[in-house]
Amino acid sequence: MILTAFLERIVAALQASDIPFMLTGSLAAAFYGQPRATRDIDVVIEVEPDQLDRFVAGLMTAGFYVSSDAATQALRHGGQFNAIDPESGWKADLIIRKVRDFSRSEFERRIPVALFGIEVALTSIEDLIVAKLEWSELGDSELQRRDVIELLEGASESIDFRYIDRWVAELGLERA
């Protein structure tokens, strides 16, 4: 299975459960011109318990491996869970939107785009940069910082640096 087919199946399951979402991570970076090999997609979701149950059931029916317990725990504690296509090995990291100002702002600013001909919502380049700086604090910092540098170099004229500076300061990411 190719990435396009995998993404299409994940998006269809999200839409069938009326779950607002946005793509982030490597796939978003690739959209902004910084491709990197990956076998997963990162999807931030804003979900209620009944939607989550329908979504997980839909993923299972579609042949994905997904743990309903892990999904429930992720919702309860603000974490993430995975959906894996056992035939291809493609994985979706389904991240519950955090309850904090930056995460609300990031989600509200998501941008509708056609990615591989699939209508999706994508994190803005500014929010992706801030998120990658935050991820660099959590681990794999060299890779995340390199992504940030490449994003900044590739689109520096169109980036809202005041927005980035605000969240870097508010989230305490000056060292990242």
d(CA 5, CA 11): 10
Does residue 49 surpass a pLDDT of 80?
yes
Same domain, 172 and 111: no
Same domain, 83 and 129: no
Does residue 140 surpass a pLDDT of 70?
no
Same domain, 131 and 116: no
pTM for the full predicted model = 0.91
Same domain, 82 and 129: no
Q: Per-residue pLDDT tens for 59-94? A: 999 999 999 999 999 999 999 999 999 998 999 999
**Dihedral in degrees, nearest 10, Cα atoms 14, 18, 19, 22:** 70
- Which CATH number belongs to the domain containing residue 119 in this structure? 3.30.460.40
Helix (H, G, I), strand (E, B) or coil at 95: strand
pLDDT band per the 50, 70, 90 thresholds, residue 156: low
Residues 6+ apart with CB under 8 A from 38: 25, 26, 27
Same domain, 16 and 32: yes
Same domain, 102 and 131: no
Same domain, 119 and 58: yes
Range 124-140 average pLDDT? 85
To 10 degrees, what angle do helices 101-108 and 161-170 make? 150
Which residues span the domain enclosing 22? 3-123
Same domain, 161 and 115: no
Same domain, 116 and 66: yes
Same domain, 75 and 160: no
Number of structural domains found in the chain: 2
pLDDT band per the 50, 70, 90 thresholds, residue 145: confident
Same domain, 95 and 174: no
Of the candidates 39, 33, 6, 11, the one whose C-alpha atom is nearest the C-alpha of residue 112 is 11
Look over the chain and give the mean of its residue pLDDT values, rounded to a whole number. Answer: 90
